[in-house]
């Protein structure tokens, strides 16, 4: 049985990936500093899978803590989620973002090098493409100058990994996520945004639940069929499964290069207005919304060409947008019930 370290394994994507790893027969060790996650998620994962992952509270910014962890644990591969992820906040606090997202990555890679640990999966983002010139976006699309320190940490992160793969015996895959949404069907785990949600779907579900009075559509004057911006919304469980596929590719030594990167999306773009309509249709809830100014830094449209990921990872999405939106709503309802 292979032992996989999942950093940030109690977060939104991390927790869903831990579930899929355990369901696929891997032994999982989670490290998380609980800065944007809750320890209760460990029990939720246990409820879903019947197995409690091994957990260590480790702050990856602390080189000594990281070294101590690796002194005590034998690892076959790492899936690295732990990072800050708020675009706006990264503009206000760039150094915190570089310290956390880049410093941690370097410490992990140094331990891998020193202990001959192979197999690294990195959480990257479609943000590396900026506003792509051609849609859908293929992996060959040029990397545009980053719009935010957050985006820059993903670009720099990929370069650091590539250089490490060239210099040391390391194999890595970066997964460039499009927009992850939804929750596990058990509604034991889901997204837990702190404070006012920045992302569309949590804002939609909180508006439907009456926590927010009105949803703002950020701009309806984009060059798209209905004027609102287009994104590729992928069910988080489909996204989690892409990590298992990528890990197996590395463990089976099927990878053709020591550093590979793949787009992980559905291949289908949806506008903000289409999301609102699909949400209303799939949940029966009516949303109160208005159009406001565009949000700074937003691109017009981004959706993935997933041909290469489908073929090389032997992976494809299985869930529909409606299922994803319904699961997000079921999750929201559960949170609302817990707090009422």
Positions marked active-site: 150
- Minimum CB separation from ligand UFG for residue 185, in Å? 22
Does residue 289 interact with ligand UFG by CB under 6 A?
Answer: no
Nearest in space to 328 (alpha carbons), one of 192, 213, 228, 165: 192
Residue number, 121 or 200, with CB nearest to ligand UFG:
200
Neighbours of 74 (CB within 10 A): 9
For residues 71 to 90, the per-residue mask of contacts with ligand UFG, x marking binding by CB under 6 A and - elsewhere, is --------------x-x---
The window from 59-67, 163-171, 199-207, 325-333 that contacts ligand UFG (CB under 6 A) reads 199-207
- Minimum CB separation from ligand UFG for residue 69, in Å? 27
Does residue 264 interact with ligand UFG by CB under 6 A?
Answer: no
Residue number, 25 or 145, with CB nearest to ligand UFG:
145
In the region spanning residues 114 to 153, those forming contacts with ligand UFG, defined by CB under 6 A, are: 125-127, 150-151
- Minimum CB separation from ligand UFG for residue 86, in Å? 8
Give the number of C-alpha atoms closer than 13 A to the C-alpha of residue 313, restricted to the C-beta side. Answer: 27
Does residue 298 interact with ligand UFG by CB under 6 A?
Answer: yes
Does residue 203 interact with ligand UFG by CB under 6 A?
Answer: yes
In the region spanning residues 224 to 253, those forming contacts with ligand UFG, defined by CB under 6 A, are: 229, 231
Beta strands in the chain (DSSP E): 3-7, 27-32, 54-57, 77-80, 120-125, 172-177, 179-181, 215-218, 230-231, 233-235, 259-264, 270-271, 289-292
Residue number, 26 or 150, with CB nearest to ligand UFG:
150
Q: How far lies 107's CA from each of 69, 78, 275, 294, 340, in Å? A: 12, 13, 40, 38, 43
Q: How far apart are CA 143 and CA 147, in angstroms?
A: 11
Q: How far lies 186's CA from each of 16, 181, 236, 328, in Å? A: 11, 15, 13, 11
Q: What backbone phi and psi angles, to 5 degrees, belong to 282? A: -85, -15
Does residue 217 interact with ligand UFG by CB under 6 A?
Answer: yes
Q: How far apart are CA 288 and CA 257, in angstroms?
A: 49
Does residue 216 interact with ligand UFG by CB under 6 A?
Answer: yes
CB 125 within 8 A of CB 154: yes
Does residue 13 interact with ligand UFG by CB under 6 A?
Answer: no
- Minimum CB separation from ligand UFG for residue 210, in Å? 16
- Minimum CB separation from ligand UFG for residue 32, in Å? 19
State the residues that interact with ligand UFG by CB under 6 A: 85, 87, 125-127, 150-151, 179, 198-200, 203, 215-218, 229, 231, 272, 295, 298-299
């Amino acid at each position: 049985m292979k032992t996989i370290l999942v950093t940030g394994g109690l977060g939104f994507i991390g927790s869903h990936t831990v579930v899929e790893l355990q369901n696929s027969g891997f032994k999982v060790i989670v490290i998380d500093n609980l800065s944007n996650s809750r320890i209760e998620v460990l029990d939720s994962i246990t409820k879903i899978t019947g197995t409690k992952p091994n957990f260590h509270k480790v702050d990856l910014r602390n080189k000594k803590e990281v070294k101590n962890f690796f002194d005590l644990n034998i690892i076959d591969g790492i899936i690295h989620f732990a990072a800050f992820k708020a675009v706006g906040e990264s503009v206000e606090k760039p150094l915190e973002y570089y310290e956390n997202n880049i410093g941690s990555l370097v410490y992990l890679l140094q331990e891998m090098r020193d202990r001959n640990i192979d197999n690294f999966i990195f959480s990257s983002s479609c943000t590396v493409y900026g506003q792509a010139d051609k849609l859908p976006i293929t992996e060959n699309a040029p990397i545009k100058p980053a719009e935010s320190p957050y985006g820059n940490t993903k670009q720099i992160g990929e370069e650091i990994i590539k250089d490490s793969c060239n210099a040391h015996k390391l194999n890595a895959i970066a997964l460039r996520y499009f927009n992850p949404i939804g929750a596990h069907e058990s509604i034991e785990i889901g997204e837990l945004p702190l404070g006012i949600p920045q992302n569309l779907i949590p804002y939609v579900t909180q508006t439907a639940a009456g926590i927010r009075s009105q949803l703002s559509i950020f701009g309806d004057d984009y060059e798209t069929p209905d004027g609102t911006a287009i994104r590729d919304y992928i069910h988080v469980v489909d996204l989690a499964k892409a990590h298992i596929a990528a890990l197996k590719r590395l463990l089976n030594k099927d990878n053709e290069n020591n550093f590979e990167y793949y787009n992980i999306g559905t291949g289908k773009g949806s506008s903000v207005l289409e999301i609102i309509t699909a949400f209303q249709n799939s949940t029966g809830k009516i949303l109160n919304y208005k159009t406001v100014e565009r949000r700074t830094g937003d691109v017009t449209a981004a959706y993935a060409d997933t041909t290469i990921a489908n073929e090389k990872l032997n992976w494809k999405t299985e869930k529909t947008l409606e299922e994803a939106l319904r699961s997000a709503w079921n999750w929201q309802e559960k949170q609302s019930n817990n707090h009422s």
